[in-house]
Structure 1
Amino acid sequence: MTRFPLAQSRLSALRTRMEATGTDLVALGPSSHMAWLSGVHPHGDERPVMLLVSRAYAGFLMPSLNAASARQSTDLPFHLWRDDEGPLAALHDVLRACDAARPGLSVVLDETMRTDFSLLLLDHLDTPTRRFTDDTVGALRACKDAAEFDAIKAAHRLNDQAVQAAFEALRVGMTERDLVQVIQDFYGAQGATLEFCSVCFGPSGAFPHHTPGMTRLERDMPVLLDTGCRLNGYPSDMTRCGYFGTPDATYTEVFTVVDQAVRAAIAAARPGALARDVDKAARDVITAAGYGDRFLHRTGHGLGIDIHEPPYITATADTPLAEGNVFSIEPGIYLEGRFGLRLEEIVILRSEGAEVFSDMPRDLLVRPVLD
């Protein structure tokens, strides 16, 4: 009996997908795909590491240096190779075990795998056809199971607390980097790590991917905080906006528009809807308010082991959304030289619609200035 029932269940589901899609071989590198399927996340360098899965066999091409550590996470067979001998003999062994010598094999490649790993594999197959993981591992990963929901929810509960603590820590003269440190320390005290953090004071918020710097917080200044932690292997992601002092009328107006766009997109997010319809729901609200040209990015991205993964919620995405999909809804309006305002929720699709992970309200966070 396997010590790793979740990996066995996912491997079985992958083989069902392989049968349905006519796939003979799936090749995964040291990536989030490998971690999701097998629980193994080996050190990644130039030494070829691959998990090869056929409909009857699964095994690793594994450098000996990684074997002892990886063995703690899987009971799948290893085809080992040492630095002084190279990987070719071990690669041939695992390909034979996968019955991969016949011509015209339909091969799925991990799109995140190093190019030299992919070419090494393809060079030792006979006229294969190849594609990426969209309809196999990717399709399975896009629909989260109960354990993944619980992990993502736990990360978001912690994120809620960190964001609240960050807004309470605002003080005149502190820098954006100072606030990043407050958030990072909060995560660390709870056993999590910083996944990313964008702190934007004042005009910095008009840059959607702002890198926190030495901008200092002043009285009556808008604050945008987009941050996420990683807890037990899964990340959180949330954006909240507020004001240090008294918000002006324009800021309050824009905040209301963006919040209405979030609400519209959440209402449009249902199983069977197209990703572009969710994007359109948010974009239409912002366009109707006269800020259409100030919404500078897509409405959302999927989230799982990776902070960005399918499905992507864009104006051109014809992807049908499915129950179990997890993705962000994060419209924004960016007024250069003044402020940017983005509100972000991560949702999971249930049969009846979208469920938000964060328990923190999206209210305009007004922080009084403390002398």
Structure 2
Amino acid sequence: MNQERLNNVLESMKAEGISQFLVADPMAVYYLTGAMLNCGERMMVLYLCTEKEPQLLIGKLFPQNEEALGIHVTYFEDTDDYVGILAGMMKEEGTVGVDKVWPARFLLPLMGKLPGAKYVNASYIIDLIRQIKTPEEQELMRAASACNDKSMGELIPLVVKGLTEKEVSEELLKIYLKNGAQGHSFEPIIGYGDAAADPHHETDDSKGKYGDAVVLDVGCLKDGYCADMTRTVFIGKASDKAREIYEIVKEANLRGIAAAKPGARFCDVDRAARDYIIEKGYGEYFTHRTGHNIGMEVHEYGDVSFTNENILKPGMCFSVEPGIYVPGVAGVRIEDLVLITEDGCEVLNHYSKDLIEVPVEE
């Protein structure tokens, strides 16, 4: 158990008037304990209480090293009344926090067994703590992004090798493993030509052709932390219209980054990028938010959107990824991760954002 993180959660629980907290999100449990517990359809709960020591309730199929975990573990058989066992650990009254992934098939019976308690969504308690990366986490984010930068340099030449999008993705995995990552942090988006104009295209068996824009939205998982970056390159020569779009997106990316500083709001970053694209006449073709928070998961709590008025604080890490997607013309997205510092932000990606035209081999 990471005692510092646990103490932060318990202090937040006290401040929010939540005396008990049922943590079932595997990533939240991992964040607190260092143990990745995926129990499928079976119940697994880390029980936190401001007045008691934490306990892990888990099926006997998943034996744990209590000494290594640093917490007491209670086991149940599949045939046990495991919700009843949990209820027996808990206080009958007060406010119970429940996280966002705990299934109703467990929550509803618990509410029936402890009707005197008040139940609230408390996921935000851990989510908000995870938003602020510690110095150690910041170093891990830098290392993951450095691996992603290096791998991007090895990936780009492959777009003119006659490979399908799926084959490029498979080659990228090999590159990541060679460069010290443990794999993809998400399924890569590799999009040639028309697919580049689909912001969440699913990588398929298409091949690129001369003049295509190629969106490379990729990220590696390294030492438990995620990288995420997008570059758009061109096979051979880019059209004049594609060049225009590219330069607009690049400037929007830079403006979003410039707006990322402590005391600003997430919506300020979105607006800085979005307003420039609107000014240039492409607002209708920028169809998504400007970014998302990132860390142990590629999409964490928080987003860079025009509706998010939360304040940026040192230690927050998120993407800035404006795009313009014009069907039949070109799709361009440029994405960097930024880390909010005491006086601005640190851009974690250093791979060139200059327009790249990859020469076609004769």
Shorter-chain TM-score category? over 0.9
Structure 2 stretches lacking a partner, 5+ long? none
The answer on whether the counterparts of 1:265 and 1:329 sit within 8 Å (CA) in structure 2 is yes
Distance 2:312 2:111 in 1: 33
Structure 2 counterpart of 1:271, from 258, 262, 265:
262
SS in 2 for 1:67: coil
Normalised by the length of structure 2, the TM-score is 0.94
Aligned twin of 1:291 = 282
The answer on whether the counterparts of 1:79 and 1:94 sit within 8 Å (CA) in structure 2 is no
- Distance 1:306-1:121 versus aligned 2 partners, 3 A rule: farther
The answer on whether the counterparts of 2:84 and 2:113 sit within 8 Å (CA) in structure 1 is no
Distance 1:282 1:118 in 2: 42
Aligned twin of 1:140 = 129
Structure 1 counterpart of 2:248, from 246, 250, 257:
257
Distance 1:73 1:39 in 2: 9
Distance 2:170 2:55 in 1: 43
- Distance 1:210-1:230 versus aligned 2 partners, 3 A rule: same
Aligned twin of 1:64 = 60
Distance 1:172 1:90 in 2: 59
Distance 1:117 1:186 in 2: 42
- Distance 1:132-1:363 versus aligned 2 partners, 3 A rule: farther
Indicate the percent of aligned positions where both proteins have the same amino acid.
28
SS in 2 for 1:298: coil
**Per-residue deviation, 1:86:** 3.7
Whether 1:94 aligns to 2:85 is no
SS in 2 for 1:130: strand
**Per-residue deviation, 1:43:** 2.3
Aligned twin of 2:144 = 155
Distance 1:127 1:90 in 2: 17
**Per-residue deviation, 1:89:** 4.9
Distance 1:73 1:204 in 2: 48
The answer on whether the counterparts of 1:311 and 1:325 sit within 8 Å (CA) in structure 2 is no
The answer on whether the counterparts of 1:166 and 1:183 sit within 8 Å (CA) in structure 2 is yes
**Per-residue deviation, 1:135:** 4.3
Query: Cα RMSD over matched residues?
Result: 1.7
Letter in 1 for 2:38: H
Whether 1:356 aligns to 2:347 is yes
Normalised by the length of structure 1, the TM-score is 0.92
The answer on whether the counterparts of 2:142 and 2:348 sit within 8 Å (CA) in structure 1 is yes
Letter in 1 for 2:113: H
SS in 2 for 1:79: strand
Structure 1 stretches lacking a partner, 5+ long? none
Structure 1 counterpart of 2:26, from 27, 31, 34:
31
Letter in 1 for 2:183: T
Structure 2 counterpart of 1:167, from 150, 156, 181:
156
Distance 1:177 1:123 in 2: 49
Q: 1:193-204 alignment to 2 at 5 Å?
A: 193-195=183-185, 196-204=187-195
- Distance 1:120-1:155 versus aligned 2 partners, 3 A rule: farther
The answer on whether the counterparts of 1:274 and 1:320 sit within 8 Å (CA) in structure 2 is yes
Corresponding pairs, count = 359
